Amino acid sequence: MFAGVLMGVAGIVGALQGIAAIADDDVYTRIGDYVFSFDLTTWGWIHLLLGIVIAVAGFGIIKGQDWARGAGIGLAALYIVEYFLFLPYAPVWSVIAIAMGVFVIWALATDSSSSA
């Protein structure tokens, strides 16, 4: 349940960040140089699409769908990579998002309620 709720919230927040970045390129300001850089509109689409997929998987976990647990672990790993690459635009939120992704993976990988 914890992982599903966390994924649902993270997905919705990610989608809202994506919409904000698509609507206005001045929402995020880069802090310093970074090897991995994309246009903010590109980041907006990445956040929007991944946020929607993560939210759907989170709701699938809450509903107890079999496919959602494996998808949740994979999407949380992708979420961690996404926010690592997004560090120069929102460093504090990126560190929080990376920690949330780790908690989701931990919760899904150690879930004792489902049989393997």
% of the chain exceeding 90 in pLDDT = 58
**What's residue 39's pLDDT?**
76
> Residue 116: inside a domain, yes or no?
no
Of residues 15 and 24, more confidence is placed in 15
Q: Quick one: DSSP state of residue 104? A: H
**What's residue 40's pLDDT?**
80
Number of domains in the chain: 1
pLDDT digits (tens, 9 = 90+) for 36-50: 667 788 888 999 999
Expressed as residue numbers, the domain containing 73 is 2-24+36-109
> Residue 12: inside a domain, yes or no?
yes
% of the chain exceeding 70 in pLDDT = 84
SS (H, E, C) the chain: CHHHHHHHHHHHHHHHHHHHHHHCCCCCCCCCCCCCCCCHHHHHHHHHHHHHHHHHHHHHHHHCCHHHHHHHHHHHHHHHHHHHHCCCCCHHHHHHHHHHHHHHHHHHHCCCCCCC
Of residues 22 and 28, more confidence is placed in 22
> Residue 10: inside a domain, yes or no?
yes
Task: Decide: 54 and 47 in contact? Cβ < 8 Å.
Answer: no
> Residue 62: inside a domain, yes or no?
yes
Q: What is the mean pLDDT of residues 88-115?
A: 86
> Residue 101: inside a domain, yes or no?
yes
Residue type, 91: P
Which of 10-24, 28-42, 44-58, 70-84 bottoms out in mean pLDDT, i.e. has the lowest? 28-42
